């Protein structure tokens, strides 16, 4: 399916959430991992799920590196907690039992920054209704690591798993709020583009939001969930469409995008569909449940801008079609980190 | 950097209701031509970008072929020109150029190849950034590898006229669009019956420049902007002129383009550059299609300041895949990416074989990103139906 073969050395694109990253995982990291009676790494879902009695134990892990570590709307600490809480939530496990936190610090990292990062981890844990239960700290020499790397692992129990592969023709696609906020805020801050003022990362724990959506739907009403992080909405939907073997028709005008993001993306030549989010979910819903789920989401503080943005079709499985309002086109899977256009 | 509000105001030219009316008009006038297919060509990567990005090909009449011609400046920069830059960089001269130029191969190597060997190449967004770089290190020569059409050539000219730092030189691979339209029109295999001309180039040259072409080649030219409504209105007018067998120039971008154009910019352009004949990659020799520095500016001209040892590249062979690349035929409008055996397989944006896959304005890159000619209009879903 993928024509990308792995090169001799790892490149940045192998971590950008697109096709190259998938090739790396499929060709190297999954080698020798046998599928079992659990949902494991081979499913390439947001986390793993292991049967424990009548329940599922969901486990997920994520290492966080972000430059700059402090960005408008958040920092690496908040990101590390939310990233893991949200991955659990996207499997239907919305009540995390606890998180672990492993930090790798660069010699010379400021104590003040570390305190600020720790404080925002505590704050994010409080918002998510969880806590950090154990951790590990390593310090590396100057230049051996860039400032700080934070790894978090999370565990949660849930009676029912939500996958990212259950979409069926006719299902509606809901996005829980404006897209592109996190990636553009960080890009603008990193490259000092002079447009930072209006852009804010959306980084937030969305387990409460996911819980509201699940509660509003009848059993089986939610067919898939995913958080559109690296690679943005396009990457998340591509993955869901490919795994579910459906086509997805997206309606451009229905996709919520803030004026600040729309303006900045237009200016930089970046497609907001390819830009990372850290406080949003993409939810596949049976058509009959869509309105109820939408109402529940909009009643939640983090879901006020939720919208139905697309429909699944049996035709063109694995493809993403964008109805632009003028015509229709395909949406490509992102290749790497979106960068401002050059000329 | 301009503020985001300016970018937002562009959105007012994106009214889907008016677009739908123009699409209906386009179907009507295309049917009125009473033969098919009707083939027209645009010569601008930004037009293809907009057509693809807004999904317009899905609503064009099936009997209308909108072909992208040699409109991508990165793509048409020819092998010997890239070779000159590669040779200079290999000789240890520091270079500055646009990011896309790094990945375009010359007869064997690209600038990215020699950068990996240790050559110093800075990526810049504009020539003014190259000027700033040169000022920072006044004792070291810096060559700006200048590519692009008249729009970017004017920026290069302004810098050369504006007392540039003495350590800065320009290696000009600038191209001039009007002559290549004549070449495409005269190609024996061409089906092109009219041209959509690029609005931003015409802001400089004025639309009057196309009158001589129209008189000689008896093919209509319509100047159009880059928003969906601009493009659709331009196409309607162009197909009307084809239908009426009326070879004339129409300006459908009057909010920016005049008949005379920007006289000051033209004056600057021709004071610095002279047009000479030269090859465009994959197309042909284009008389007056290349812009070179006039003798007066020899002191800024990298070709005269440095001994460029292009022969040093002759013992390196190009990768075997390059033999199968059909970028030339694609840019001439004779073939489409679908005809290429490499497209979407060996040739991808992150491992481009041909120049058309490198630049965001290249046909193959755009088709790869947006799906080329997707037949998507008839999908059995109406996303609007759920609205009560």
Q: Which residues of chain A have pLDDT under 70?
A: 1-8, 16-18, 29-30, 32-38, 41-42, 196-197, 335-343
Q: Terminus-to-terminus CA distance in chain A, angstroms? A: 33
- The pLDDT of residue A142: 95
**Nearest residue of B to residue A12, measured between CA atoms:** B350
Q: Output the pLDDT for position A74.
A: 96
Q: How far is CA B358 from CA A3, A333, B110, B279, B368, in A?
A: 17, 17, 12, 20, 11
Please tell me the predicted confidence (pLDDT) of residue B195.
96
Chain A residues close to B72, C-beta within 8 Å:
none
Average pLDDT over residues B168-180: 95
Tell me if the bond preceding B233 is cis, omega within 30° of 0. no
Q: How far off is chain B from A55, nearest CA to CA, in Å? A: 37
Burial annotation A96-125 (CB, 10 A radius, 16+ → b, else e)? beebbbbbbbbeebeeebbeebeebbeebb
pLDDT exceeds cutoff 60 at B125: yes
Which 8-state DSSP code applies to residue B198?
Answer: E
Q: Nearest Cβ partner of B350 from A20, A254, A332?
A: A20
Contacts of B387 (CB under 8 A, 6+ apart): none
Looking at residue B284, its pLDDT comes to 83
pLDDT at residue B333 tops 90 = no
Residues B322, B109: Cα–Cα separation, whole Å? 11
Q: In this structure, what DSSP letter does residue B221 have?
A: E
Q: For residue A13, what is the nearest residue in chain B, using CA coordinates?
A: B350
pLDDT at A16: 66
Q: Which of A194, A264, A266 is the closest to B10 by Cβ?
A: A266
Instruction: List all residues of chain B from 215 to 254 with a beta carbon under 8 Å from chain A.
Output: 228
Backbone angles phi, psi at A27, to 5 degrees: -85, -25
Question: For residue B372, is pLDDT > 80?
Answer: no
Residue B7 and residue A266 in contact, taking contact as beta carbons nearer than 8 Å: yes
Asked if the peptide bond before residue A191 counts as cis, ω within 30 degrees of 0, the response is: no
Place of tokens 């020799």: B285
Percent of chain B with pLDDT over 70: 92
Asked if pLDDT for residue B197 goes beyond 80, the answer is yes
pLDDT at B134 over 90: yes
Tokens representing A138? 């390593």
Q: Does A146 touch chain B (CB under 8 A)?
A: no
Q: What mean pLDDT comes out for the span B372-377?
A: 63
DSSP code per residue over B39-92: EEEE--HHHHHHHHHTTGGGTS-TTEEEEE-S--HHHHS-HHHHHHHHHHHHTT
What whole-number distance in Å separates Cα of residue A230 and Cα of residue A63?
13
A327 min Cα distance to partner chain B (Å): 4
Q: From CA B112, how far away is CA B125, in angstroms rounded?
A: 17
Say what the pLDDT of residue A122 is. 97
Which residue would you say has higher pLDDT here, B253 or B99? B253
Predicted local confidence at residue B325, as pLDDT: 87
Q: Under DSSP, is residue B129 helix (H, G, I), strand (E, B) or coil?
A: helix
CA distance B292 to B174: 7
User: Which residues of chain B neighbour A326 with C-beta distances below 8 Å?
Assistant: 14, 16, 19, 23, 54-56, 59, 228
The model's pLDDT over B46-71, given as tens digits with 9 standing for 90+, comes to 898 899 889 998 899 989 999 888 88
Cβ within 8 Å, pair A251-B381: no
**Per-residue pLDDT averaged across B363-367, rounded?**
87
A172–B54 C-beta distance less than 8 A: no
**Please, what is the Cα angle at B71 between B176 and A328, to 5 degrees?**
155
Average pLDDT over residues B338-352: 85
Percentage of chain B surpassing pLDDT 90? 57
3-class secondary structure, B338: helix
Inform me whether the C-beta atom of residue B12 falls under 8 Å from chain A C-beta atoms.
Answer: no
Lowest-pLDDT choice from A260-274, B19-33, B162-176: A260-274
pLDDT in tens, B147-167: 999 999 999 999 999 999 999
DSSP 8-state assignment for residue B177: H
* Cβ–Cβ below 8 Å for B1 and A13: no
Question: A322–B55: do the CB atoms touch at under 8 Å?
Answer: yes
A143, two tokens: 């230049």
Q: Is the pLDDT of residue B9 over 60?
A: no
In chain A, the residue whose alpha carbon lies closest to the alpha carbon of B4 is A263
Does residue B236 have a pLDDT over 90? yes
Calpha distance A249→A247 (Å, rounded): 7
Nearest to A315 among B1, B4, B379 (CB): B379
Whether B55 and A323 lie within 8 Å, measured CB to CB = yes
pLDDT in tens, A316-335: 899 899 999 898 999 988 76
- Which pLDDT score, from 0 to 100, does residue B368 have? 84
Is there a contact between A253 and B2 if contact means CB atoms under 8 Å apart?
no
Does the pLDDT value for residue B203 go beyond 60? yes
């Amino acid at each position: 399916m993928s024509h990308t073969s792995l090169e001799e050395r790892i490149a940045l694109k192998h971590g950008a959430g697109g096709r190259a990253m998938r090739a790396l995982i499929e060709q190297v990291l999954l080698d020798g991992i046998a599928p079992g009676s659990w949902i494991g790494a081979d499913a390439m879902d947001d986390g793993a799920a292991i049967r424990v009695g009548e329940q599922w134990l969901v486990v997920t892990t994520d290492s966080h590196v972000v430059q700059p570590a402090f960005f408008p709307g958040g920092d690496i600490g908040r990101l590390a907690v939310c990233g893991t809480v949200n991955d659990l939530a996207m499997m239907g496990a919305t009540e995390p039992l606890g998180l672990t936190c492993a930090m790798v610090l660069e010699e010379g990292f400021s104590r003040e920054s570390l305190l600020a990062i720790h404080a925002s981890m505590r704050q994010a844990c409080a918002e998510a209704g969880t806590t950090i239960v154990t951790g590990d700290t390593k310090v590396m020499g100057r230049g051996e690591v860039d400032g700080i790397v934070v790894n978090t692992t999370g565990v949660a129990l849930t009676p029912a798993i939500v996958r990212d592969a259950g979409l069926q023709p006719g299902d509606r696609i809901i996005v829980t709020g404006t897209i592109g906020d996190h990636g553009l805020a960080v890009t603008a801050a990193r490259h000092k583009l002079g447009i930072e003022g209006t852009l804010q990362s959306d980084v937030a724990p969305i387990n409460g939001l996911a819980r509201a959506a699940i509660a509003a739907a009848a059993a089986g009403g939610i067919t898939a969930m995913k958080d559109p992080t690296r690679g943005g909405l396009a990457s998340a939907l591509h993955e869901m469409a490919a795994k579910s073997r459906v086509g997805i028709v997206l309606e451009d005008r229905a996709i919520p995008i803030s004026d600040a993001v729309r303006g900045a993306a237009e200016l930089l030549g970046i497609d907001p569909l390819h830009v990372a989010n850290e406080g949003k979910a993409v939810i596949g819903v049976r058509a009959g449940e869509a309105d109820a789920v939408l109402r529940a989401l909009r009643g939640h503080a983090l879901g006020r801008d939720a919208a139905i943005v697309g429909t699944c079709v049996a035709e063109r499985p694995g493809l993403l079609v964008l109805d632009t309002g003028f015509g229709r086109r395909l949406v490509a899977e992102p290749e790497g980190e979106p960068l401002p256009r050059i000329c | 950097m301009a503020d985001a509000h300016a970018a937002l105001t562009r959105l007012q030219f994106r009214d889907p209701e008016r677009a739908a009316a123009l699409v209906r008009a386009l179907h009507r006038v295309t049917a009125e031509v009473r033969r098919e297919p009707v083939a027209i060509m645009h010569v601008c990567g930004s037009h293809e970008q907009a057509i693809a990005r807004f999904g317009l090909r899905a609503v064009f009449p099936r009997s209308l072929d909108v072909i992208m011609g040699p409109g991508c400046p990165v793509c048409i920069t020819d092998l010997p020109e890239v070779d000159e830059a590669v040779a200079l960089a290999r000789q240890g001269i520091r270079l500055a150029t646009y990011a896309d130029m790094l990945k375009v191969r010359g007869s064997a190597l690209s600038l990215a190849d020699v950068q990996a060997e240790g050559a110093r190449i800075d990526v810049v967004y504009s020539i003014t950034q190259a000027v700033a770089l040169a000022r920072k290190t006044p004792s070291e020569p810096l060559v700006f590898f200048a590519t692009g059409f008249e729009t970017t050539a004017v920026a290069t000219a302004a810098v050369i006229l504006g007392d540039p730092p003495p350590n800065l030189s320009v290696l000009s691979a600038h191209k001039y669009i009007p002559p290549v339209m004549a070449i495409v029109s005269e190609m024996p295999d061409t089906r092109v019956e009219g041209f959509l001309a690029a609005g931003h180039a015409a802001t400089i040259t004025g639309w009057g420049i196309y009158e001589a072409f129209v008189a000689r080649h008896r093919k209509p030219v319509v100047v159009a902007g880059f928003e969906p409504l601009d493009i659709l209105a331009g196409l309607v007018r162009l197909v009307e002129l084809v239908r009426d067998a009326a070879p004339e120039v129409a300006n459908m971008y009057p909010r920016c383009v005049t008949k005379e154009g920007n006289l000051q910019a033209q004056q600057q352009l021709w004071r610095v550059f002279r047009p000479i004949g030269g090859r465009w990659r994959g197309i042909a020799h284009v008389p007056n299609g290349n812009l070179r520095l006039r003798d007066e500016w020899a002191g800024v001209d990298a070709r005269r300041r440095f001994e460029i040892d292009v022969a040093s590249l002759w013992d390196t062979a190009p990768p075997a895949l390059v033999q199968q690349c059909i970028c030339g035929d694609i840019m001439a409008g004779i073939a489409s990416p679908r005809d290429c055996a490499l497209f979407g397989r060996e040739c991808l944006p992150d491992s481009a074989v041909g120049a058309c896959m490198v630049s965001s304005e290249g046909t193959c890159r755009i088709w790869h990103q947006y799906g080329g000619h997707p037949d998507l209009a008839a999908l059995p879903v109406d996303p609007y139906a759920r609205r009560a």
